[in-house]
Amino acid sequence: MGRPLTVARRTTGTDYARLSLWHETADDDWVPRAPLPGSFDCDVAIVGAGFTGLWTAYYLSRADPTLRIAVLERDVAGFGASGRNGGWCSALFPASLAKVGSHMGRDAALRLQRELENAVDEVGDVASREGIDAHYAPGGTIVLARTPVQLRRARADVATARSWGQGPDSLQLLGEPAARQHLNAAGALGGTFTPHCAAIHPARLVRGLARAVEAHGVDVYERTAVRSIEPGAVHTDEGVVRAEVVVRATEGYTAGLPGYERALAPLYSLMVATEPLSDSDWGDIGLAHRQTFSDGRHLIIYGQRTRDGRIAFGGRGAPYHFGSRTRSSYDRVPAVFDDLRATLLDLLPQLDGVRFTHAWGGALGVPRDWHASVGLDRATGLAWGGGYVGDGVGTSNLAGRTLADLVTGAATDRVSLPWVNHRSPSWEPEPLRWLGVNVGLRAMTLADAEEARTGRPSMLARAMAPLVGGH
């Protein structure tokens, strides 16, 4: 059977524009594309129309325009983390160089890091080439040190980078004046800066990418729930898609597929956004080049200056839900939103009196060893990409290029990178998974309080490091 005919879009009762600030300001009507019209055959079936699935489709279609490629999405392209994240297109990888190198060697770890850095530029290049106005701004990332303990960690991070041969053009240590030139935050003692990050509007990027793959001949079917995948077939409510290669690109929603319940744990990250600030406010705050920003605490926070002059700010802290459940109600945790607003005001007291206009959240995918991976099992034709632990905007681009190489058999350097065909162990069964993940999340909050109280590195954080991705 050949490619099915495209049918007209249908409307839906879901107001996708209300999912996040990014969805609301994506300049998109959010009318769903047509669902799968029935069973058919293709060369490559991709499950999930987020960044991983769409980048894979994009590079496959460019590598071999004759391939019949179908992308199947339960909701709409960019519904999940790809349309809700912090907008950091970074070179961050959830596992450290030391952890990657311990398995595959120093040279392999450094090759992966260079490819991740190149991915930041590649995303901007594709957006420009395809006419996607993703608000791309390669301003780098400032990580503030606001306590003596955090400053010691910043120095240690730079020393580690130097031991791996990375110079100031990769990561530099900042004193207080230099740090405040980037971001005039309360209590800043210094920090680190890397140029390898761009601020983006994620929903604009993912929606533009969906249009681009369609222009390259890829079929994107929305409102098509995938119930299971197996070698050679994807089962949906609308029919069975038979394909030589099936790519699983479901990230935080992976646990909903039979057989993958313990592959990735969905952890929720929540965000808030301010109203647009005045030029005077920005003159005091900084971020003149739209640098992304964070600080050295254990419980992760992240922020950016949006192109329309807001601060979009997020962090961890929302609970993991028993059985790896994902529900729309989990996107909104009022207590976490309150904590995020308070944290941002503590960081930037200049925002006192500024109105917060948006609050949202979503699930990200976390493997048990906090090590992202891509791969293709040639015996079964099953491929996958994900496990980014929240750093997937740039990493997913590298994943898409790598998966395209694996599927087409291209002999590139990418197919031998150390994350290719990495197999993470399964998460523990419940209730151990629920207990362990939530204890780990709570421990990071307590670790920050411990350091504030004692002025010394947290012993609790060190003890919990293996559970939350430490080394």
Tell me how far CA of residue 229 lies from CA of 34, 375, 382, in angstroms: 21, 16, 9
Dihedral of the CA atoms 333, 334, 340, 342 (nearest 10)?
Answer: -160
What confidence tier does 5 reach under pLDDT thresholds 50, 70, 90?
Answer: very low
pLDDT at 11 over 60: no
CA dist 221 and 329 (Å) reads: 25
Tell me what pLDDT residue 209 has: 98
274: tokens are 């301010």
Rounded average pLDDT over 28-46:
97
pTM, whole model, 2 decimals?
0.95
Is 6 a residue whose pLDDT tops 90? no
pLDDT at 1: 34
Nearest Cα residue to 179 out of 208, 201, 155, 197: 155
Sign of CA dihedral 31, 32, 37, 43: positive
Summarised one tens digit per residue, pLDDT across range 204-251 is 999 999 999 999 999 999 999 999 999 999 999 999 999 999 999 999
Distance (Å, whole) CA 303 – CA 182: 13
DSSP secondary structure string, 211-227? Answer: HHHHHTT-EEE-S--EE
Model confidence at 463, pLDDT cuts 50, 70, 90, reads: confident
Structure confidence at residue 184 as a pLDDT band (50, 70, 90): very high
Please check the confidence at residue 189 and state whether its pLDDT lies above 90: yes
pLDDT of residue 379: 97
The tens digit of pLDDT for each residue in 334-376 reads 999 999 999 999 999 999 999 999 999 999 999 999 999 999 9
The pLDDT assigned to 467 comes to 61
Give the count of beta carbons closer than 10 Å to the beta carbon of residue 459.
12
pLDDT tens, position by position, 50-84: 999 999 999 999 999 999 999 999 999 999 999 99
Q: What is the pLDDT of residue 303?
A: 98
pLDDT of residue 12 exceeding 90, the answer is: no
402 has pLDDT over 70: yes
The pLDDT of 279-299, averaged and rounded, is 97
Task: Work out whether the CA dihedral 86, 169, 287, 155 comes out positive or negative.
Answer: positive
What rounded mean pLDDT belongs to the chain? 94
Residue 270 has pLDDT above 90, yes or no: yes
What are the residues facing 366 on neighbouring strands? 265
Q: Which segment of 16-20, 154-158, 438-442, 465-469 scores lowest on mean pLDDT?
A: 465-469
Q: In angstroms, rounded to a whole number, what is the distance separating the alpha carbons of residues 152 and 392?
A: 28
